[in-house]
Chains A and B, each alone.
Chain A
């Protein structure tokens, strides 16, 4: 993991990317009490580019040229056996999230991760099947800043969606108790 952060920081120095913020389950692991399984590391990058489509090929070429053990598997670039998924923030919520990071130290290397409330907001926004259980456990854990989360959700018209999700969880709890 330390190696990966080093490589990403080197990519900033070499001006391949402008910045990066870790998201997904890797970032979630830092905040939540529960352990969420993932197979890749989501890396949200900011780059200067024009046009609608951004090509990740220069990143792959750079890694292949500078490091050993570089491969591809589906949407992942495998770097030293870590599957990395490079993502560009496409919508306004992701763009806002990338600016609201927290700096942490992973195995002695400093790196940025999304703030907890933005991670939750992104899961509510995307609401993939695997996010359902994660959101439920996070709501139960109550370790997030509710005011901050509600503010983000309100600004991105997601508060109703979140309330509906919470209602559904409450209904299920009543059924099971």
Chain B
């Protein structure tokens, strides 16, 4: 059966590459950058009403 190429392989490759990039980028983050991301998560939880504790004042 002839295989119909519909760009799925390249899409998967792109996804895998971006996943690898993401893993590498994550490793490069400094402690301060990680803190800032965590504060973003806290802001989200606070906005959703999941917690009554205010996000840390780190900008």
Q: Which of B1-40 contact A (CB under 8 A)?
A: 23, 26-27, 29, 31-32, 34-35, 37-38
Instruction: Fill in one digit per residue for A71-99: 1 if any B CB lies within 8 Å of its CB, else 0.
Output: 00100100011110000000000000000
A33 to B43, CA, bound (A): 21
| Secondary structure dominating the interface of A | loop
A33 to B30, CA, bound (A): 10
A106 to B53, CA, bound (A): 22
A171, chain B: closest CB distance, angstroms: 25
A35 interface residue, CB < 8 Å from B?
A: yes
A interface size (C-beta, 8 A): 21
Instruction: Assess the A37–B41 pair: CB atoms within 8 A.
Output: yes
Query: Given the complex, which residues of A lie within 8 Å of B35, measured CB to CB?
Result: 1, 29
Instruction: Assess the A37–B42 pair: CB atoms within 8 A.
Output: yes
Identify which of B23, B41, B56 contacts A1 (C-beta below 8 A): B56
Query: Given the complex, which residues of A lie within 8 Å of B52, measured CB to CB?
Result: 73
A81 to B54, CA, bound (A): 7
Decide yes or no: A1 and B45 within 8 Å by CB, A29-B34, A40-B53, A73-B53 being known contacts.
Answer: no
Instruction: Assess the A35–B53 pair: CB atoms within 8 A.
Output: no
Query: Given the complex, which residues of A lie within 8 Å of B29, measured CB to CB?
Result: 33
Instruction: Assess the A83–B41 pair: CB atoms within 8 A.
Output: no
A172 interface residue, CB < 8 Å from B?
A: no
B32, chain A: closest CB distance, angstroms: 7
A81 to B55, CA, bound (A): 8
B49 interface residue, CB < 8 Å from A?
A: no
Q: Closest 7 CB pairs between A and B?
A: A39-B53, A81-B57, A37-B41, A29-B34, A30-B31, A33-B26, A35-B37
27 contacts between A and B (CB under 8 A): A1-B56, A25-B38, A30-B31, A33-B26, A33-B29, A35-B34, A35-B37, A35-B38, A35-B41, A37-B38, A37-B41, A37-B42, A37-B45, A39-B42, A39-B51, A39-B53, A40-B53, A73-B53, A76-B53, A81-B54, A81-B56, A81-B57, A82-B56, A82-B57, A104-B31, A106-B31, A107-B32
